[in-house]
Amino acid sequence: MAWAAAVVAVLAVARAAGYYGSAAPGRPGGFLWPLFSWDFDLYRYVARHGYTPFPSPTFAFFPVWPGLLWLGGAALAGGVALLASLAAFLGIARLDPDGEPERVAIALACWPGSFALALVYPDALAIAAGAWACVCAGRGRWVAAFALGALCAAARPPGVLIAIPLFARSRRAAAGPVVAAVAVQSYFWIRSGVPDAFVRAQAGWGRHGLASRPWLVLGVLACIAVVAATRRLRPLAFVAAIAFVLAKTRSWQTATETLRAAVALPLMFVLVRLGPRYRLWAWYSAAVVAVSLASGSIQSFGRQALLAFPLAWAAARIGNRWLAAGGAVANAALLLTLTHFAP
């Protein structure tokens, strides 16, 4: 709740200071309109007009959120986003293998880019559903885990990866996200007439695959080399990797996403080093990050990487007050970029 209040407070102060103007006519949210911007308009377009004839960029957006907007409009979607973000905090904290929910909640609140959970997008819903699917599977409630895993996969494309940790707890529960992903892609096939409508629509939004962005490959390899380097060379290698990747950026948006990738990638190795209980979660987090980077674009990496929620556990294990404060400031600054470029 403190995190949600801080998001509102940052936007309220920014609006009062004249940092951004009033919402355009028809834009919901009042002074919180930045939370109803960018992809919200695209989801709302699908809700109003459906999936338009192929070739169409609308097939890049999974149907759960447009369906919600069709049922109850922006008010319902905003309420669901808020409740889902709070549920995501609770679910991620409860899953912590070391049982330190307070530290995990603080780490997630201070995570640079956690403000994206407050956006009126399906991300918070997908993350909450995925986290609670794992909670239910761990308690032997495979039917609930199946349904929540299916919701996760139907809300966001990478949500199908929640099947990885679910499989370790219940194979029946792990089938939920797979069934949902197949159902969505089958619907897209029937609606568009082509089997790869989603992939083609993603290409229309600039995601052509990793081969089209060779510098990303080099950046990922550099980050891996940082972690693999000896302890004595690691700080120098880390600085060199960040400098190299930033040199290849062409906008402030790309720079902020790259810096967040530089934070997230080493944390996957931290998960591995925390012991056997964390290794499955490290593989899951690596899969989420790899899918994002494999799209061939660094854009929206920070928002997409939130689905790799075990990284918050790693941050909680190594964090301190100064890192938390720095992360909170960075999170507020990233929130203010909403009026300049898409999250």
Q: Please check whether residue 177 is in contact with residue 157, taking contact to mean a CB–CB distance below 8 angstroms.
A: no
pTM score > 0.75 for this model? yes
Residue from 334, 204, 196 nearest 263 by CA: 334
For the chain, how many structural domains are there in total? 1
Residue from 292, 308, 307, 113 nearest 213 by CA: 292
CA angle 261, 265, 266 (to 5 degrees): 130
Q: Which of 16-30, 223-237, 243-257, 262-276 is modeled with the greatest confidence?
A: 16-30
CA angle 153, 294, 53 (to 5 degrees): 60
- Residue bearing tokens 């996200």: 177
CA distances from 88 to 16, 35, 112 (A): 30, 18, 16
Q: Is the pLDDT of residue 4 over 50?
A: yes
Q: How far apart are CA 252 and CA 246, in angstroms?
A: 10
3-class DSSP assignment, residue 114: helix
Residue span of the structural domain in which 113 resides: 2-339
Averaged confidence pLDDT in the chain: 89
E-strand ranges in 86-214 read none
Q: How confident is the model at residue 228 (pLDDT cuts 50, 70, 90)?
A: low
Q: How far apart are CA 118 and CA 75, in angstroms?
A: 14
Residue type, 235: P
pLDDT over 90, % of the chain = 71
Q: How far apart are CA 175 and CA 142, in angstroms?
A: 10
pLDDT of 206: 74
Residue-wise pLDDT for 7-22, tens only, equals 999 999 999 999 999 9
Residue-wise pLDDT for 32-62, tens only, equals 999 999 999 999 999 999 999 988 999 999 9
Alpha-carbon torsion 330, 335, 339, 343, what sign?
A: positive
Q: Please check whether residue 122 is in contact with residue 156, taking contact to mean a CB–CB distance below 8 angstroms.
A: yes
Instruction: Give per-residue burial for 151-171: e unless 16+ CB within 10 Å, then b.
Output: bbbbbbbbbbbbbbbbbebbe
Residue-wise pLDDT for 90-147, tens only, equals 999 999 999 999 999 999 999 999 999 999 999 999 999 999 999 999 999 999 999 9
Residues 6+ apart with CB under 8 A from 8: 32
Q: How confident is the model at residue 232 (pLDDT cuts 50, 70, 90)?
A: low
Q: How far apart are CA 135 and CA 144, in angstroms?
A: 10
Q: Per-residue pLDDT averaged across 171-191, rounded?
A: 97
Residue 30 burial by CB count (10 A; 0-12/13-18/19+): exposed, middle or buried? exposed
Give me Rg for the CA atoms of the chain: 19
Residue 137 burial by CB count (10 A; 0-12/13-18/19+): exposed, middle or buried? buried
